[in-house]
Structure 1
């Protein structure tokens, strides 16, 4: 099972959600993201949020359409997206994808980027996706990465300290056992030269961003 969580970010930032509406997908709406899903004829199985970004009339509509809805007080410790993500993690899915989490307020965007770090603690692959980018984090190991003509640029950023022994094979700009210090921009806008490549490192946390122009 793959769980797709759609938050209430600008719809202009969203990819075509129907491309992700596969057989084993489970959809979850967060705040205004519930209306986004319903407008695209996608029925979320769960809804989360304080729903302070929609009108009372819209909330009534949501309650009529969604059987399982979790409404929270606006003054709470966790953002709506994190509440939905915590539920999704409990379901033990193969993968979690977050949509509608970019654009608009930068504090919300950075909060959603931080949520990607839950992938280490929970052992579940989590991606943050918008119309132009896909991002996720990886932990020490060796990984295969395949060419995607829709997102040909691949960038690597150290997260929470430096990354040790980064090796990139099959890339336009290869590396071998390179120390990448915190805040480095050395690995921005790389590209695969083959149908697939590999990246590996022995220490640190690496954020991977795949982008299109």
Structure 2
């Protein structure tokens, strides 16, 4: 397989029709654990299904095995990475220019937070990464990011590193000029664009950019 431009991971968290709307022609689809079953039952064939598959029945496992191009399974106990990280690392190894994670947010806050931290792994590898669910679109920036129109109008900025310096916003209702945000600061919550596009620039540190629908 030639290197895909964009890989979408369907993990085992919250999924719905909104996730299918992310799929475009040419995307490489990866099913992570139960996310593989979601893809298959919506008529999509995963390029890879990966995980320990401890959340599926034997019948569902047979369905995943029969309808995936490739399956990689592991022991649910003797492993050092979550299923989602395994899928994410595989995606990085393929040389994709962009990775989108769906089903990465859910009721398990530990898994949710760990998946947000995967954005840092992508940033260090120079790969554009997003986490998307029905109401949020999450990215990480350490230099500059331009935002355009979105179904998620509210934009919040939170430091992922202890301190983020030199934060400058243009095109926003509440602009910032060389500001600093530290862990625990809420200054960056709930901003909105006032122009067709807005720019976020950062001098040092890593800044979570969370676009929310409600």
- TM-score, normalising length: structure 2: 0.94
Q: Is the 8 A contact 2:98 2:128 kept in 1?
A: yes
Structure 2 residue aligned with 1:38? 40
More strand by share: 1
Structure 2 residue aligned with 1:24? 26
- Deviations, residues 161-185 of structure 1 (Å, cap 9, x unaligned): 1111111111111111112122211
Q: Is the 8 A contact 1:165 1:202 kept in 2?
A: yes
Deviation at 1:17, TM superposition (A): 2.9
Deviation at 1:104, TM superposition (A): 1.8
- Assess, with a 3 A threshold, how the Cα gap between structure 1 residues 208 and 15 changes in structure 2: closer, same or farther: farther
- Assess, with a 3 A threshold, how the Cα gap between structure 1 residues 74 and 211 changes in structure 2: closer, same or farther: same
Q: Using the alignment, how far apart are the partners of 1:197 and 1:101 within structure 2? A: 26
Q: Is the 8 A contact 2:46 2:67 kept in 1?
A: no
Farther off after superposition, 18-27 or 191-200: 18-27
Farther off after superposition, 120-129 or 80-89: 120-129
- Deviations, residues 131-150 of structure 1 (Å, cap 9, x unaligned): 000101111x23322122x1
| 1:194-205 correspondence runs (5 A) | 194-205=195-206
Structure 1 residue aligned with 2:124? 121
Q: Using the alignment, how far apart are the partners of 1:112 and 1:81 within structure 2? A: 7
Structure 1 residue aligned with 2:110? 107
Q: Is the 8 A contact 2:36 2:64 kept in 1?
A: yes
Q: Is the 8 A contact 1:119 1:137 kept in 2?
A: no
Q: Is the 8 A contact 2:141 2:202 kept in 1?
A: no
Structure 1 unaligned residues grouped into runs of 5+: none
Runs of 4+ with deviation above 3 angstroms: none
Structure 2 unaligned residues grouped into runs of 5+: none
Structure 2 residue aligned with 1:2? 6
Q: Using the alignment, how far apart are the partners of 2:17 and 2:63 within structure 1? A: 25
Structure 1 residue aligned with 2:154? 153
Q: Is the 8 A contact 1:7 1:30 kept in 2?
A: yes
